Amino acid sequence: MKIILTQEVSGLGTPGDIVEVKDGYGRNYLLPQGFAIAWTKGAEKQVTLIKRARSAREIRDLGHANEVKGQLEGLKVNLKARAGDGGRLFGSVTPTEVVDAVKAAGGPTLDRRRLELPGHIKSTGSYPVKIKLHPEVTATFNLTVVQG
């Protein structure tokens, strides 16, 4: 089955890529979740729009990615979350909350879809968070979740 990705799917591609996947994977997962659209000649024209939007958001080059990596690794990111006794959170920390906390700490604006959280963060403490800035550059910073 030939599809056009609308979001980044790890191990498969980035938005705008035309990929060939197994029928079940495309029909039962990628299409219903909104990660892809079915390939047609008309849909292929949308690929240029998707790629144009991605290039505006994307980090420009390797040098810029290394600069952003330096900013992130020297940053102390604190996130206040509602928690009960023993530091257990009501819910869990989302990538959007992490991106907002980085921005509030004086860091750069990040794409939440490129964050790699260490599983579900459901208690207070310090956690290493990875973000893929460029195909060759991955930054890691510490996220401290505090009761607030």
What's the CATH code, domain 62-147?
A: 3.10.430.100
Residues of the chain with CATH 3.10.430.100: 62-147
Architecture in CATH of 2-57: 3-Layer(aba) Sandwich (3.40)
- pLDDT of 14 reads 82
pLDDT of residue 70: 87
What whole-number distance in Å separates Cα of residue 117 and Cα of residue 128?
Answer: 8
Positions of CATH 3.40.5.10 in the chain:
2-57
Residue-wise pLDDT tens digits, 103-120: 998 888 888 888 888 888
**Residue 134's pLDDT is what?**
79
For the sheet containing 125-134, what is the strand order? 77-81, 137-147, 125-134, 115-116
The predicted structure's pLDDT at residue 55: 65
Q: What is the pLDDT of residue 59?
A: 60
**Alpha helix positions (H), the chain:** 23-25, 31-33, 41-57, 62-73, 95-104
pTM for the whole structure:
0.63
Section 74-89 average pLDDT? 89
Amino acid at 39: W
pLDDT of 73 strictly over 80:
yes
pLDDT in tens, 4-54: 988 888 889 887 888 999 999 999 999 999 999 998 888 877 787 777 766
